[in-house]
């Protein structure tokens, strides 16, 4: 069959904004201890195999305290993104390589975090803004940590909000589109004895608005234009997504071996129909007084979204695409996506981090990780899934 693309279809690219989430998590960790004046810098290089996506990220963090109970953090982040990524379209010929589209973009963000320690409660306020050529994101958070039971029990309560705008000039839309989100977390950490602790967190979240990836497409012959000819049209996801997760973690200190073990399990479910299970192991080994080695491994297995279809024709899906107006996904059923990230798959991330305390003021660290993904539905081609190397290096100077 001949394969062509409608002129109104958006460019075949995809954003990667994971760095914004990493930045928010790094800067907005609630804490009960007094802060210290410091400057930190981290560089991360994410490189997929076979000349796929490459992301270089720079994080600069300044932290200061105002008296014994109040601290302020300011972080700046830049990301340069380039490379090829799967579009969601079917191969040009049966059994051929998965189609990809080239993309380049540059992201910059600023994040602020203000924390104050009251008598038994630490309150942490965070705000961040991130901008790309076609995307603006505003995020904010409120987290509290409350110490109880002679500081053997710590209660966590938190809220985070998100307000995103997808801009129309680059995409050829008539108007911008918006996405909003809200997440709640509640949990506790219990010290069982001087060497062991247990953490249990429960999270609820909701996202609404434009939840499609505007650069992901699907292939179909069911447009009543040219029978038997494949066309590529935008995907169409629901306009609401509810999320639930539960996290269980343990920390155990082994003084005899100068090491510690961190383990965790996370279950995730959302209204897209995705269920996932994630297990993590991390060992922290002291190598002398100033060096720590941290090998780690994380494994995740997930089910597919209910509307994920590698081949729409085989699934009998008739798209809601309007060839006359060129309108993208309507947010009304039927829903459909061929984005491999929504398929049934598993991922494995393993690596090691080396931290070196070079004195009272300076510390450095470097980490190398291998990230692999594999499909499990026996339909989606394996070359759609990403395999990547991640290198992170940084330093912290205290004064």
pLDDT of residue 346: 98
Verify cis geometry, omega within 30 degrees of 0, for the bond prior to 92. Answer: no
pLDDT of residue 8: 30
Distance separating alpha carbons of residues 63 and 73, to the nearest angstrom: 4
pLDDT of residue 231: 87
Q: Closest Cα partner for 55 from 390, 295, 396? A: 390
Has residue 2 been placed in a domain?
A: no
pLDDT of residue 171: 63
> Would you say 136 and 128 are in contact if contact means Cβ atoms under 8 Å apart?
no
Has residue 3 been placed in a domain?
A: no
- Domain with 130 in it: what CATH number? 2.40.160.40
pLDDT of residue 2: 32
pLDDT of residue 176: 87
Using a 10 angstrom Cβ sphere, with 0-12 exposed, 13-18 middle and 19 or more buried, the burial of residue 14 is buried
pLDDT of residue 274: 98
pLDDT of residue 16: 38
Q: Closest Cα partner for 342 from 54, 86, 22? A: 86
pLDDT of residue 3: 35
Has residue 235 been placed in a domain?
A: yes
pLDDT of residue 18: 43
Largest distance between two CA atoms of the chain: 74
pLDDT of residue 139: 97
Structural domain including 374 reads: 18-398
Distance separating alpha carbons of residues 323 and 6, to the nearest angstrom: 8
pLDDT of residue 24: 47
Has residue 4 been placed in a domain?
A: no
Instruction: Please tell me the total count of domains within the chain.
Output: 1
Has residue 11 been placed in a domain?
A: no
Has residue 148 been placed in a domain?
A: yes
| pLDDT averaged per 10 residues, the chain (length 399) | 32 36 48 70 97 96 93 96 95 90 94 96 97 94 96 96 86 82 97 95 97 91 76 92 98 94 98 98 96 98 98 90 61 91 98 95 97 97 97 96
């Amino acid at each position: 069959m001949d394969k062509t693309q409608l002129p109104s279809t958006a460019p075949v690219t995809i954003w990667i904004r994971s760095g914004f989430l990493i930045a928010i998590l790094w800067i907005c960790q609630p804490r009960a201890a007094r802060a210290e004046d410091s400057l930190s810098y981290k560089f991360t290089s994410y490189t997929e195999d076979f000349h796929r996506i490459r992301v270089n990220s720079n994080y600069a963090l300044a932290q200061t305290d105002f008296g014994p109970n109040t601290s302020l953090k300011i972080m700046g982040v830049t990301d340069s993104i380039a490379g090829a990524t799967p579009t969601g379209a079917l191969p040009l010929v049966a059994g051929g390589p998965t189609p990809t589209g080239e993309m380049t973009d540059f992201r910059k963000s600023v994040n602020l975090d203000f924390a104050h320690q009251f008598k038994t409660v630490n309150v942490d306020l965070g705000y961040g803004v991130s901008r790309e050529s076609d995307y603006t994101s505003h995020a904010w958070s409120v987290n509290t940590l409350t110490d109880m039971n002679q500081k053997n029990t710590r209660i966590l309560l938190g809220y985070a909000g998100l307000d995103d705008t997808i801009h129309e000039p680059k995409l050829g839309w008539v108007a911008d589109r918006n996405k909003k989100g809200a997440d709640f977390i509640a949990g506790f950490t219990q010290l069982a004895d001087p060497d062991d602790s247990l953490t249990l967190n429960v999270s609820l979240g909701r996202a609404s608005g434009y939840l499609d990836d505007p650069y992901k497409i699907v292939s179909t012959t069911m447009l009543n234009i040219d029978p038997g000819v494949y066309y590529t049209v935008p995907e169409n996801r629901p306009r609401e997504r509810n999320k639930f997760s539960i996290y269980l973690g343990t920390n155990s200190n082994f003084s005899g071996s100068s090491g510690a073990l961190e383990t965790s399990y996370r279950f995730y479910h959302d209204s897209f129909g995705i269920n996932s299970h994630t297990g993590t192991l991390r060992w922290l080994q002291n190598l002398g007084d100033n060096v720590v080695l941290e090998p780690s491994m994380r494994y995740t297995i997930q089910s597919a979204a209910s509307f994920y279809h590698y081949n729409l024709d085989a699934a009998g899906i008739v798209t809601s695409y309007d060839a006359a107006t060129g309108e993208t996904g309507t947010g009304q059923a039927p829903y459909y996506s061929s984005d491999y990230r929504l398929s049934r798959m598993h991922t494995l991330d393993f690596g090691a981090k080396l931290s070196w305390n070079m004195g009272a003021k300076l510390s450095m660290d470097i980490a190398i990780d291998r990230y692999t993904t594999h499909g499990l539905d026996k339909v989606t081609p394996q070359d759609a899934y990403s395999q990547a190397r991640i290198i992170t290096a940084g330093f912290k100077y205290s004064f």
